Amino acid sequence: EAQVTQNPRYLITVTGKKLTVTCSQNMNHEYMSWYRQDPGLGLRQIYYSMNVEVTDKGDVPEGYKVSRKEKRNFPLILESPSPNQTSLYFCASSLRGANTGELFFGEGSRLTVL
Amino acid sequence: GNSVTQMEGPVTLSEEAFLTINCTYTATGYPSLFWYVQYPGEGLQLLLKATKADDKGSNKGFEATYRKETTSFHLEKGSVQVSDSAVYFCALSDRDSSYKLIFGSGTRLLVRP
């Protein structure tokens, strides 16, 4: 089954404790991206990757890192989480780019930073 | 810059009522327009899309027409069901950039039996 898998789905952590949210897709997609969803703000892009070893900042990259060492995986790293990073995070992928609009989304990872 | 504005929710309807969720956009050039749906506890799914002016996207009884003159892409359905309860996001893509979609803030739809 074609899917984007995120882990963990739910996480409560404390300020400053490094964490990684994993994202994996099994569709051989070149493009992957991370969004955060906050009430009243919709989805905002954190980072994206057009292909392996190619990553770039989105609209709200502060406090996050990513890597794309393999085509299927695109982990999101919070080196020192802060309460303002409490949010619902989505990973998405597409065959090539986002402008076809056919993004496939994971089920989301709800992160709470105390 | 490019942006998408959606009507605030929640929108509460009775089953079989007519649905309209308004979406307007600001963009340079000729963007493609999309509606995504997010069911409770799930990720977003593409519902429908339109790539040029006057195109009508449709899926699962939902429709939206790309209106360049009014910069709008309103979502409609003639008869909603309880199972349509979800959050609906309008989005656009910039033809000059392949790296992101721009999303509206989302509109929650609640359909009562």
Could you tell me how far CA A97 lies from the centroid of its own chain?
Answer: 15
Tokens read off for B51: 């790539």
For residue A80, the Cα-to-chain-centroid distance in whole angstroms is 16
Per-residue pLDDT at A40: 83
**Burial class of residue A102 in the structure, from the number of CB atoms within 10 Å of its CB (0-12 exposed, 13-18 middle, 19+ buried):** middle
Q: Which residue ranges in chain B fall short of pLDDT 50?
A: none
* Interchain CB contact of A101 with B (< 8 Å): yes
Q: Measured between CB atoms, does B44 come within 8 Å of chain A?
A: yes
Distance CA A94, CA A25 (A): 10
Residue pair A98/B100 in contact (Cβ under 8 Å)? The answer is: yes
Which residue carries 């780019």 as its tokens? Answer: A97
What is the pLDDT at residue B88?
96
Residue B40 in contact with partner chain A when CB distance is under 8 A = no
Give the pair of three-digit tokens for residue B84. 């349509």
Q: How many cross-chain Cβ pairs, A to B, lie less than 8 Å apart?
A: 68
Phi, psi of B83 (to 5 degrees): -70, -10
| The pLDDT of residue A81 | 97
Mind listing the pLDDT tens digit of every residue in chain A (114 residues)? Answer: 889 999 999 999 999 999 999 999 999 999 999 999 998 888 999 999 999 989 999 999 999 999 999 999 999 999 999 999 999 999 999 998 887 778 999 999 999 999
By C-alpha distance, the chain B residue nearest A38 is: B105
Chain A neighbors of B106, CB-CB under 8 A: 42
| Closest among A95, A94, A82, A90 to A106, alpha carbons compared | A90
- Chain B residues near residue A99 by CB distance under 8 angstroms: 32, 93-95, 97-98
- Supply the mean pLDDT for chain B: 93
Residue of B nearest to A39 (CA): B105
Which residue in A43, A92, A107 is closest to B42 by CB distance? A107
pLDDT in tens, B82-99: 999 999 999 998 766 677
Minimal Cα distance from B105: which residue of A?
A42
Pairing of strands B11-14, B107-112: parallel
CA gap A63, B107 in Å, rounded: 28
φ/ψ of B82, rounded to 5, equals: -55, -35
Query: Sign of dihedral through CA atoms B79, B60, B30, A60?
Result: positive
Contact flag A108-B42 (C-beta cutoff 8 Å):
yes
User: Which of A41, A56, A99 comes nearest B94 by C-beta?
Assistant: A99
Residue pair B27/B2 in contact by the 8 Å Cβ criterion: yes
For the CA atoms of B89, B95, B98, B99, the dihedral, rounded to the nearest 10 degrees, stands at -50
Pairing of strands A87-94, A109-113: antiparallel
Instruction: Please give the radius of gyration of chain A, using alpha carbons only, rounded to the nearest integer.
Output: 13
pLDDT of residue A36: 96
How confident is the model at residue A89, as a pLDDT? 97
